[in-house]
Amino acid sequence: MVPYGGATETGEAERIGVGPLIQPFSESLRPLRQQVFERIRAAGALPRVQVAKELGVSPASVTAITSELIEAGLIEEVAAPREGDTSRGRPPVALGVRPEAHLVAGMKLSDREHTAVIVDFAGRLLASEAHPHPPGEHGLDELVAAADDLLSAAAAKAGVDRRTLSAVGLGVPGFVDAATGRVHWSSVLRERYADVAGAATARLGVPVHVDNDANLVALAELWFGAGRELADFAVVTIEHGVGMGMVINHRVYRGARGLGLELGHTKVQLDGALCRCGQRGCLEAYVADYALAREAATALNLMHREGQSVSVLLESLFDHAKAGNKAARSIFRRAGRYLAVGLANVVNLFDPGLIILSGERMRYDYLYAADTLAEMESLMLQTNRPPPRIEVHAWGDMLWAHGAAALALSAVTETILGAGRETA
């Protein structure tokens, strides 16, 4: 391919374009008023002059835009006293998000427990609620009904009318197309290719936005946690399954079809153990809680009793490991080695600056012991540079609900302020 085509009637070579026709996504492509609002929200309180400085635009432009946002009831002027300034007189004025402008909910539906939070437009938590849920697959109607009950309880605890909510973010495990809200497969859902967003919106009476729960953990870290100041990082979740969320250039990456980064379903063993997705040899089938429970039942004769949960079985396995039982330790060691393979693949593929290991299962420190991380390093590309930083966040399910709330806040912001997308 050459930059000039054949000759034209005038004898000149035909000029054709070169280079990408679609320019790289950047902040400058987002509406300026959206950029202004999001800078203010991220800072909590920010003077107009600082907004102009950070965005590289004229103070006059910022003044005009913020006046519109104040008139629309989205932001408000707040006092911003200067540090060390004890003089009397009027304190400097900053801008902050008007918290009561919108209320949203975030919910996670999981194999064991459903959780929800209600937050205001500034991202402040108003209430949280958790409902136990029997494990296994459930019908779409049953799952949406459980979400309906959970939302009512959370709204009542927050003292708000659920009809005043502007949006609901909903996280489920499995293969989720966030753009359409369709769930192709989930461990909590009997149906495949289910329109969860449509069914939930109809039942709850509020716009519902659905995403993979691991993406929502990454979103929670990006909005509320360790990822706020990082351009690129990865979150690997180990709970009832193994998930992954990746932030690239401050945005959650989902792939061309919205189904990317399914680390738990990368293959680590041909014709290996059966995964709950229906395929064999997935990483999840060696690391997730049901995999550890399967190994425990076989190696330690810890068979399921009537009504006994997987969590109880895992606690028994962990107690045996801490007490020095070789078989129990070998189960965690094997799972840790498979986890090392998965993490090394993440590093070799994406080279993130930080990997966050998240989820309640990170209480089982055998999964990320020093020898596991050392094995990860041995499987990484050898470049004489240090490995990425590893942080362990043993959060419970409420963190996932916070990520769902961030998804809802993002959706409301885009609907009101512009055509850009908060997550790519």
Domain residues of the chain, as ranges?
23-81+89-97, 102-219+399-417, 226-394
Instruction: Report how far residue 317's alpha carbon sits from residue 326's, in angstroms, rounded to the nearest whole number.
Output: 11
Residue 422 is predicted with a pLDDT of 40
Q: For residue 226, give the amino acid letter.
A: A
Confidence of residue 161 (pLDDT cuts 50, 70, 90): very high
Residue 310 is predicted with a pLDDT of 74
Confidence of residue 298 (pLDDT cuts 50, 70, 90): confident
Domains 102-219+399-417 and 226-394 fall in the same CATH topology: yes
Confidence of residue 323 (pLDDT cuts 50, 70, 90): confident
Give tens-digit pLDDT for 398-410: 888 999 999 999 9
Residue 293 is predicted with a pLDDT of 84
Average pLDDT of the segment spanning 356-377: 77
**Fold (topology level) of 23-81+89-97:** Arc Repressor Mutant, subunit A (1.10.10)
Residue 424 is predicted with a pLDDT of 34
Please, are residues 212 and 174 in contact by the beta-carbon 8 Å criterion?
Answer: yes
Confidence of residue 411 (pLDDT cuts 50, 70, 90): very high
Whether the per-residue pLDDT at 92 is higher than 80: the answer is: no
Superfamily, domain 102-219+399-417: ATPase, nucleotide binding domain (3.30.420.40)
CA distances from 407 to 5, 92, 118, 312, 354 (A): 47, 33, 13, 33, 22
Burial class of 244 by CB neighbour count within 10 A (0 to 12, 13 to 18, 19+): buried
**Listed ranges 11-25, 50-64, 369-383; the one with the highest mean pLDDT:** 50-64
Confidence of residue 327 (pLDDT cuts 50, 70, 90): confident
Look up residue 347 and give its two tokens: 């590093």
Residue 372 is predicted with a pLDDT of 84
Confidence of residue 2 (pLDDT cuts 50, 70, 90): very low
Provide the whole-model pTM.
Answer: 0.84
Give tens-digit pLDDT for 38-87: 999 988 899 999 999 999 999 999 999 999 999 999 999 988 756 655 55
% residues pLDDT > 90 (the chain) = 51
Instruction: Report how far residue 294's alpha carbon sits from residue 348's, in angstroms, rounded to the nearest whole number.
Output: 30
Whether the per-residue pLDDT at 164 is higher than 80: the answer is: yes
Higher pLDDT, 57 or 229: 57
Q: For residue 105, give the amino acid letter.
A: A
The residue behind tokens 């801490």 is 322
Average pLDDT of the segment spanning 233-261: 87
Instruction: Report how far residue 118's alpha carbon sits from residue 401's, in angstroms, rounded to the nearest whole number.
Output: 9
Higher pLDDT, 312 or 253: 253
User: How would you write the chain as a 3-class SS string?
Assistant: CCCEEEECCCCCEEECCCCCCCCCCCHHHCCHHHHHHHHHHHHCCECHHHHHHHHCCCHHHHHHHHHHHHHCCCEEEEECCCCCCCCCCCCCEEEEECHHHCEEEEEEECCCEEEEEEEECCCCEEEEEEEECCCCCECHHHHHHHHHHHHHHHHHHHCCCHHHEEEEEEEECCEEECCCCEEEECCCECCCCEEHHHHHHHHHCCCEEEEEHHHHHHHHHHHHCCCCCCCCEEEEEECCCEEEEEEECCEEECCCCCCCCCHHHCECCCCCCECCCCCECECHHHHCHHHHHHHHHHHCCCCCCCCCCHHHHHHHHHHHHHCCCHHHHHHHHHHHHHHHHHHHHHHHHHCCCEEEEECHHHHCHHHHCHHHHHHHHHHCCCCCCCCCEEEEECCCHHHHHHHHHHHHHHHHHHHHHCCCCCCC
Confidence of residue 89 (pLDDT cuts 50, 70, 90): low
Give tens-digit pLDDT for 100-145: 999 999 999 987 789 999 999 999 999 999 998 777 778 999 999 9
Whether the per-residue pLDDT at 419 is higher than 60: the answer is: no
**Fold (topology level) of 226-394:** Nucleotidyltransferase; domain 5 (3.30.420)
Average pLDDT of the segment spanning 202-214: 95
Residue 423 is predicted with a pLDDT of 39
**Listed ranges 46-50, 332-336, 385-389; the one with the highest mean pLDDT:** 46-50
Confidence of residue 16 (pLDDT cuts 50, 70, 90): low
Whether the per-residue pLDDT at 203 is higher than 90: the answer is: yes
- The mean predicted confidence, pLDDT, of the chain is 85
